[in-house]
Amino acid sequence: MPVAVYVLGLSVFALGTSEFMLSGLLPPIAEDMGVTIPQAGLLISAFAIGMVIGAPLLAVATLRLPRRTTLVSLISLFGLGQVAGALAPSYELLFASRVVSALACAGFWAVGAAVAIAMVDKDQRARAMAVMIGGLSIANVLGVPAGAFLGEHLGWRSAFWSVGAASAIALAGILVLIPKIPLPAEKPRLGRELRIYRDRQVWLAIGITALAAGGVFCAFSYLSPLLTDVAGLDSRWVPWILGLFGLGALVGTTIGGRVADAHLFGVMLWGITASTVFLAALALLAGTAAAAVALSFLLGFSAFFTAPALNARMFNVAGAAPTLAGATTTAAFNLGNTGGPWLGGTVIDAGLGFSATAWAGAAMTVTAIALTAIALRLDRRRPHPGTTRVVASSESAPTTASVSA
């Protein structure tokens, strides 16, 4: 695996920490800003909305720009967004800073994923994406619990300052370790890349990814109050349990990334089914502290076990448009990360309680299983052409391979 892929994974650590750390900071943010916990939860949706909008827009805007320069610009903007969040005097400005940070994060994911996939062969796509997703897993193991710890002891703003510092380190790594990638002989054309949206398999992949991610994050976004108000745990345990979710994510990513290239649909079906079972169990057993803790680990495992396969599937069905494939995958995941917390907040506002968010999430993942079965049936019907090498971005290494996550 090229060292540049690992550099991108390390950069994703900073992005992922910012994206997910609010799960452990909702109560102090809500208290400081004078809003309810569901309103604070909308800050998670704000980030996800920025990712949904920003991924395709920035992918198109940077289609012919140098990849390394684009990555440097986006990680810099992301870091500034963290500083703005740390200084935000009101809920509205904090909301705006989350959207700006998300736009930069989305662009980085879209471009970074295309570059990572371009540097490996087709049978290593899921493993390459597992390295990048591994950055998210480590963010959940270390970054998110650290953010919750800082929020508990130094105030929630300290978590934003820490992510800003991590972004500066990521910027240094990109400048030093990612080489300048030469422009391809033929520049990417937007019209050609947009043709991927004519394929119903692309839309199925979007739906599966959004529902699988949204189902888990419908419950995960409100895991902190669920653990304290329903399971009865002291708030000081929340960072450790969030870290346990992240540990499960790291283990799941590692195993899923190695298995998915050979058993793509198997990983998708079994992983999403496992998430459904764990969500239902959480809804039923949330009042038992030991069960809630164990299921936090298992949900992290099942969600991230599936993630490399979901990424790979999109690149497989949209390989002719690698930049937009990466952007579409990012947007799909964050459609789920938008809809999941929103649905969870709606359930809470309806007076059904924090544990009901897990039932709502399970309904989303059941739908994802149905769409996966349809995609598998269609996939078996259509011919599979031979693998061709494609360029993954407006810059690509001379030995680029066909694209997939």
State the average pLDDT over residues 189-196: 70
User: At residue 38, does pLDDT exceed 90?
Assistant: no
pLDDT for 402: 29
User: At residue 371, does pLDDT exceed 90?
Assistant: yes
Whole-number Cα distances in Å, 33 to 45, 71, 86, 94, 225:
17, 33, 13, 9, 17
Confidence of residue 183 (pLDDT cuts 50, 70, 90): low
Domain boundaries, the chain: 3-381
Taking the C-alpha atoms of residue 11 and residue 103, their distance in angstroms, rounded to an integer, is: 15
Please give the mean pLDDT across all residues of the chain. Answer: 80
Give the residue ranges of DSSP H helices in 178-263.
190-194, 200-220, 223-225, 238-259
More confident residue, 328 or 1: 328
> What pTM does this model have?
0.71
Residue from 246, 229, 218 nearest 362 by CA: 218
| 32 token code pair | 């400081």
pLDDT tens sequence across 124-133: 766 777 777 7
pLDDT for 39: 81
More confident residue, 207 or 37: 207
Confidence of residue 123 (pLDDT cuts 50, 70, 90): low
User: At residue 398, does pLDDT exceed 60?
Assistant: no
For domain 3-381, the CATH class is mainly alpha
pLDDT for 274: 94
pLDDT for 386: 44
Which residue matches tokens 């079994």?
270
Confidence of residue 297 (pLDDT cuts 50, 70, 90): very high
Confidence of residue 14 (pLDDT cuts 50, 70, 90): confident
